Amino acid sequence: MVVNASIIFNEVPHGAPVPGKTLKRVEEELDVATVDLEGGLLVKMKAVSLDPYLRGRMRASSKASYNQAFALGKVIDTLGVGIVERSDHPDFPKGAILKGLLPYSEYALLSKARLDMKLAKVVEKPDGIAWTTMVGACGMPSATAWIGLYEIGRIKKGDTIFISAASGAVGQIAGQLAKREGLTVIGSAGSDEKVAFLKEIGYDHAFNYKTTSTQDFLEQHPPSVVFENVGGETLDAVLATIQNNGRIIHCGSVSQYNLPPDQQYGLKNTSNVVTKRLRWEGFIVSNHDWTEFDKTMPKLVANGEIKFKEHVTKGIDNGEAFLDMLEGRNFGKAVVSLE
């Protein structure tokens, strides 16, 4: 018998999620040796990923969006990695490493029906890579950086790219990949410490948006392509300063997710889409083909060509780690270690 801790979606939040109310830690006793698998698996989870898009799933199930709302009272899921502890399913033998959309729990019982949805697959774990890195530097944010730069932004040598939330999970990888391709790379972040980190990983220019005006800085260094993670005022500054024929890779609007509809920032500079002939494109990484990324990224991480920073929380909490990530108090990719 073990006590299995999980996080459930307890209540639809208005504005910012409240730890213990929106997300809530629950415990149940689980007999890992004898629990009936009914054709599925018992997985010992090793790490899960905390990402801003999860905020969007914390909504009433009646509200449609590009992803599924979390079910009230149920354990939430996110990108995770774990080891098959017991198996009733021939495709997932005991000891296999499973990666994909998995429960935010210490132990996960996966039904055969769920496995058939192919939300998770068996993967190799390269030597010397931590469990958290499997969902961190080799996880969804890095795939987002990859797809955004190559498929949406179609970056090319000579471009000047501005990356907002640059020390975040997506930004730190996007900047390094862009630098490898010969771009001039500019990043903004919310503290001097983060700015120093950006310079350390090869950003040509970096500034603290809390003490330096984004618009002023970009007027000095007008970007030809922008990897936009923030939305709101930052995006307005981007529209004001981006070069003619610029491209905006719109990846997220983290500054707006917690605001009620009547407090959403109103963008004033969208007429520039016409006058500057911009291409502004959104994307959802899960709709794109990761083959090239999956083939290349683990090697770059394993041989140290891509540096990364993780913000590791240990164990299951009441959603405090998620809120910290959402409000920018993490430094690097937010992951939870469940070892």
Binding site for its own copies (CB under 8 A): 56, 65-66, 231, 235, 244, 250-253, 256-257, 261, 264-284, 287
Neighbours of 181 (CB within 10 A): 16
Nearest distance, CB of residue 30 and its own copies, angstroms: 36
CA distance 198 to 162: 12
Residue with Cβ nearer its own copies (1 or 60): 60
Residue with Cβ nearer its own copies (20 or 282): 282
Residue with Cβ nearer its own copies (34 or 275): 275
Q: What is the CA radius of gyration of the chain?
A: 20
* CB-neighbour burial class of residue 276 (10 A; exposed 0-12, middle 13-18, buried 19+): middle
One-letter identity of residue 18: V
Pairing relationship of beta strands 2-9 and 23-30 according to DSSP bridges: antiparallel
Residue with Cβ nearer its own copies (103 or 223): 223
Nearest distance, CB of residue 221 and its own copies, angstroms: 17
Backbone phi, psi, residue 332, to 5°: 100, 180
Pairing relationship of beta strands 160-163 and 225-228 according to DSSP bridges: parallel
Nearest distance, CB of residue 140 and its own copies, angstroms: 14
Nearest distance, CB of residue 215 and its own copies, angstroms: 13
Distances (CA, A) of 110 to 186, 214, 267, 307, 333: 43, 46, 44, 34, 26
Residue with Cβ nearer its own copies (82 or 246): 246
CA distance 77 to 95: 21
Nearest distance, CB of residue 269 and its own copies, angstroms: 8
Q: b/e per residue, 104-140, with b = 16+ CB within 10 A?
A: bbbbbbbeeebbeeeebeebebeeeebbbbbbbbbbb
Nearest distance, CB of residue 58 and its own copies, angstroms: 14
Residue with Cβ nearer its own copies (214 or 318): 214
